[in-house]
Each structure stands twice: as structure tokens, then as C-alpha cells.
Amino acid sequence: MKQSDANEAVCTYLDWDSQFFQRRIARLNRRRLDEGSAAEALAWCGENKIDCLYFLADADDAKTVRLAQQNNFIQTDVRVTFERLLTDDDRLLADSGDGMVRLGDERDLVALCKIAATCHQDSRFYFDEEFERSKCDLLYATWIENSFKGFAQAVLVVEVAAQPVGYITCHLSGSESRIGLVGIADSQKGKGLGKKLVKRFLAWSLEQGAHRATVVTQGRNTGAQRLYQRCGFLTFSFQVWYHRWFEERQGKRKGRNR
């Protein structure tokens, strides 16, 4: 266990997630489990009446995986992080063919929210059937809207025939940039627009003074993985997302909703 983990509370209540999903949701603040931390986390959830506990675990620790399974954590996702260093070559942009990339603004919101509500179904929220599908759709539409309100440093938009058909959200922390969400309208997939967005993100990153870029995607999203690999990203880390639902809380909730 890392020293920073040992000094942190075992779990954190997540206000935004709880309000959005109308469930009491928390995050387990450990990457690895032992018998003591597992028992402490479950006891904390009982005391705080938690419905669902998120747990992002190191995938290379057999004891953690075993304890998660023994304590009824359900694997909902594999989290793959990619990284690459930025070079001067990333300033060179190829804008030939269909698909112009530009800085987005809130006038694009209606079109982008429609795209976001349909193109992130590889995520752990869709995989976990306890979350309503309509709520998952709204989650990503809200993510795009919040990205224009300061959650992201920039939103880049690709348009075809003067209509926005895709986006990439750009984040910056010191000398590191990060891709948040990438989405392409179903009718425009397979045309290389995702690669254009990533290339423009790399150029934007250099303009902001970044030296390193990262992105996270799902293990089941092989299309996204191939996209990032084609753009020079290499695998950096591999983790597992678990959700732990508390049946006693679920039973009470379902009883109230009858």
C-alpha cells in the first residue's frame, strides 16, 4: 500500500454522482486491498448508508482481485491509460479531405449532446445494469455541457458540411495534457475524423506548453485503443473498475419504489 493511500480516508462520499444518479455513491480510496482495508471499507459503507461503492484496483495484485471477488465487488470495466511525449512534429496538421477541426463553443452544444448521448456505451456505467440507460445517456451529454463551463480547458469540434459531427475535450495540468472524451456521430464513423481530432489535440497541447499527453479508455473499446496507437500513444497502465452494490440498501429502495 502506498503511503499516500494509508494516510487517506478509506472511502469518500461522491456528492455529484449521488445527486445525479439519485443513489448514495462513494469511492474506495485504495488501489490494493487486504483483509483489514476491505472490512473497513464495507463497514464505512454500512455506517454511511451507501448504495454503490466504486473501486479502481491495480490489476496486477492477485490478492486484491481475490478479495474484491470474495466481497461481492462486480468488475465493470478495464481502465487502460495511454501516454506519449509531444514533439515538434505534432505541430504539423493535415487538414485535407472532409472534416475541419476548430475550437468549439456553446452554439455547438445541441448537436454535441446528441452525439454524446449515443457514443459512450463501452463505459462502466452502461455495463452495470443497476444504472438506468437514460441516466447514462444524460451523463455524457452533461459531461459535454460541463466541459464548456470550465470542466475542460478546451473542446475541439470536427465539422462536415458546416455541421459539428464530433468532439474531443482537452485538459491541461502543468506540463501534461489529457484527453477527456472523444465522440463521433454514428453516421461519420470510419472516415478518419477521430484521428484528426487527436492530431489537433496534440497540436493544442504543444501550444499550451505541454510535454506529455495521456488518455484513458476502456479495455473493451478496441476501436479507441487502435486510434490512440495510430497516433503514437503507448500503454502506460492497466487497472480494473469494480462496483459494489449493497443489497440491503437496494432492497429497501426497490420496496419504496413499488
| Assigned domain for 250 exists | no
- Please indicate, yes or no, whether residues 18 and 43 belong to a single structural domain of this protein: yes
pLDDT reported for residue 196: 95
| Low pLDDT (below 50) residues in the chain | 1-4, 252-253, 255-258
77 inside domain: no
Counting every residue, how long is the chain?
A: 258
pLDDT of 5 reads 57
245 part of a folded domain: no
**Residue-level pLDDT at 104:** 95
Instruction: Write down the number of H helices and E strands in the chain.
Output: 10, 10
C-alpha cell at 202: 496534440
User: What is the C-alpha separation between 37 and 166, in angstroms, rounded?
Assistant: 43
Q: Are residues 45 and 103 in the same domain?
A: no
Is 81 in contact with 224 (CB distance < 8 Å)? Answer: no
The number of domains in the chain is: 2
**Pairing outcome for strands 163-173 and 176-184:** antiparallel
Asked if residue 90 and residue 19 are part of one domain, the reply reads no
pLDDT at position 112 is: 97
Q: What is the pLDDT of residue 1?
A: 44
**120 and 154, same structural domain?**
yes
**Are residues 154 and 103 both part of a single domain?**
yes
Q: List pLDDT tens digits, range 67-105.
A: 999 999 999 999 999 999 999 999 876 555 577 999 999
Q: Which domain holds residue 66?
A: 3-71
- The verdict on 19 and 125 lying in the same domain is no
- 228's grid cell: 490512440
CATH number for the domain that contains residue 221: 3.40.630.30
Residue 254 inside a domain? The answer is: no
Residue 247 has what pLDDT? 78
Do 24 and 137 fall within a single domain? no
